[in-house]
Amino acid sequence: MPVEITDADEISRCIVYDRAFDHSLHVDEFLWRFENTQSDGASHESGVLRRLAPDAEDVHRIGCGIAANQNERKNNPPPGQGRRYYCGFRTASYASLPTTGNGYYITITNVPENGEESHVDVALTVTVEGKNAKAVRRTDAGIALAEQFGPPAAHRCDCDVGDDQHPFALWGPECLVSGLRDRWPDLVLEIPSNDDGELDDQQGNLLP
């Protein structure tokens, strides 16, 4: 059953490689990538309503499922280029999100999907004409949204343990924040291996 999103709510956005990355770095420009316009005239992306998924592990489970579904649609490519990896999430208050801009508006609703009651549909409608103008507005809207989202909460899925092509294996967990240094110059993500082969984030949480 959908619920009404209020100013007291928080929305999380999952970070999936390579879609949310510019080469080896996660960047704001690619946190929200509005692309194909659908039959309703809007471009759609997804978020997680934290009221219905309150724990970090809830979001990590959802994110791992997103990457797994995307890989399944791509016939499960082997490790490396072309494979999707969930790397964590970022969170913003709903009240902070800019839903109108120059030549566009954004509608954010709770629309359960694939059995996830917390799924949020983020629909961007561009109101200007012209291919280039529309592309600029899609980029502007994505950046405006991303700038309200806080630092990443890192995670590595069970299915990715031991994968030497995972972004954390290639570039370390700093790949999540190195592209955002202007906002959090002192933020460090440390995810060293522990004796059980698990990962430990900067807050002491075990990440599989």
- pLDDT for 162-190, tens place per residue? 999 999 999 999 999 999 999 999 998 86
**CA-based torsion, 95, 100, 104, 110: positive or negative:** positive
State residue 63's pLDDT score.
Answer: 98
Asked if the structure places residue 113 within a domain, the reply is: no
Token digits of residue 118: 């917390």
* Cβ count within 10 A of residue 153: 23
Asked if the structure places residue 117 within a domain, the reply is: no
Segments forming the whole domain that contains residue 181 = 10-35+47-97+142-207
Asked if the structure places residue 114 within a domain, the reply is: no
Asked if the structure places residue 126 within a domain, the reply is: no
Torsions phi, psi of 15, nearest 5?
-105, 115
Number of domains the chain is built from = 1
Which residues does the chain have with pLDDT short of 70?
190-208
State residue 189's pLDDT score.
Answer: 84
Asked if the structure places residue 133 within a domain, the reply is: no
Asked if the structure places residue 152 within a domain, the reply is: yes
* CA terminus-to-terminus distance, the chain: 31
Asked if the structure places residue 124 within a domain, the reply is: no
Distance between CA atoms of residues 90 and 132, nearest Å: 29
